[in-house]
Amino acid sequence: MQLDIFKSLWGWTGDWSHCSAQVREMGAVGVETRLPLEAGAQRAMAHALAQHGLACIAVVFTGGGVIPHQAWTVEQHLQRLREALDGAALVQPRFLNLLAGNDRWSLPQLVDFFGRAQAMADEAGVVCSWETHRGSALYSPWVTLALIEQLPQLRFTADISHWVVVCERRLDDPLDDLSAFIERVHHVQARVGYDQGPQVPHFEAPEHAQDVAFHQGVWQSIWASQAQRGYARSTLTPEFGPDGYTHRLPFTQAPVADLHALNLGMAHRQRSRFDAWTPPMEVTP
């Protein structure tokens, strides 16, 4: 199994040539970025990706944004997914990474939505990876595990930092059994959260060493699971971000760390960890 790293375009404002140079600097193969809604923008994006030789993971918000429109129904979320599946035919991403649903939905609503959504994706022949994220249906590990019991065919994007904030602790108690989730993770977003926030100020700061170790352990458990599932490639996106995630000093609002440097450092760290990691041996009955 090999590791394919992607550059997140969350907050990116540069041009594609500069982006491509940073992708190569990271040792990455492509970008993880929002799928445009309009066909013209989708075609332009597909052209830019091909021109620069970049693979793509396309991000979709079924609720219209990171925080979903609160009045949108299951049918409206499914309609947005239909539009995204059509867009995927133009852009040809590796897969769709979806922030889906609404955190106020009941479990029956979740089962209805995800069951129908996954059936739509299967019919379209598009791989969909459902991301764990606050504000979305998968905001909580316990809700996600309950959903897995009903729909074990789902595959997920693991952004564990959100769950750490929601639960206000590292999920490292023996009772915090995430194995059913880990066995279904398709993609990893490598950002380190802590009990009071989704992003530590800097992952190399010694005061967050335990938080880093917890996240690293989860990611390596995912790699082990993917290797056992026969994955030829594991995908990972360093995803330290703006929008209140990067800590800032009061009054001046100066960032306490450089965003690109954080993601570049995490990319190199994960490449090093992956190269030193030994996949589990298959057990012959």
Question: Which tens digit of pLDDT belongs to each residue from 104-134?
Answer: 999 999 999 999 999 999 999 999 999 999 9
Look at residue 284 and tell me whether its pLDDT is greater than 60.
Answer: no
Distance of CA 116 to the CA centre of its chain: 21
Reported as a single tens digit per residue, the pLDDT across 129-159 is 999 999 999 999 999 999 999 999 999 999 9
* pLDDT greater than 80 at residue 188: yes
Above 90 in pLDDT, residue 162?
Answer: yes
Other C-beta atoms within 10 Å of 141: how many? Answer: 20
Confidence of residue 279 (pLDDT cuts 50, 70, 90): confident
pLDDT of residue 219: 98
pLDDT 10s digits, 14-29? 899 999 999 999 999 9
Question: What is the amino acid identity at position 60?
Answer: V
What average pLDDT does range 68-77 have in this prediction?
Answer: 96
Task: Determine the 3-state secondary structure of 128 from DSSP.
Answer: strand
Residue owning tokens 């590791």: 3
Residue 237 backbone phi and psi in degrees, to 5: -120, 115
Question: Where are the extended beta strands (E) located within 80-238?
Answer: 96-99, 128-131, 156-158, 185-190, 233-238
Q: What is the pLDDT of residue 190?
A: 98
282 pLDDT tier (thresholds 50, 70, 90): low
- List the structure tokens of 221: 């458990």
Of the candidates 142, 133, 116, the one whose C-alpha atom is nearest the C-alpha of residue 66 is 133
Residue pair 215/160 in contact by the 8 Å Cβ criterion: yes
Distance between CA atoms of 41 and 1, rounded to whole angstroms? 34
pLDDT at 13: 86
pLDDT digits (tens, 9 = 90+) for 247-259: 999 999 999 999 9
Q: How is residue 282 written in tokens?
A: 């298959």
pLDDT on residue 280? 75
**Its pTM surpasses 0.95:** yes
Is the pLDDT at 285 greater than 90? The verdict is no
pLDDT given for residue 278 in this prediction: 83
Task: Please give the torsion angle defined by the CA atoms of residues 261, 246, 190 and 188, in that order, rounded to the nearest 10 degrees.
Answer: -130
Q: Indicate whether 174 pLDDT > 60.
A: yes
Q: Could you give the CA distance from residue 92 to residue 68 in angstroms, rounded to a whole number?
A: 25
Query: What percentage of the chain carries pLDDT values higher than 90?
Result: 95
| pLDDT reported for residue 186 | 98
Angle formed by the axes of helices 16-26 and 39-52, nearest 10°: 50
Average pLDDT over residues 172-193: 97
pLDDT of residue 225: 98
State the fold for domain 2-276.
TIM Barrel (3.20.20)
What is the Cα–Cα distance from 45 to 48, expressed in whole angstroms?
5
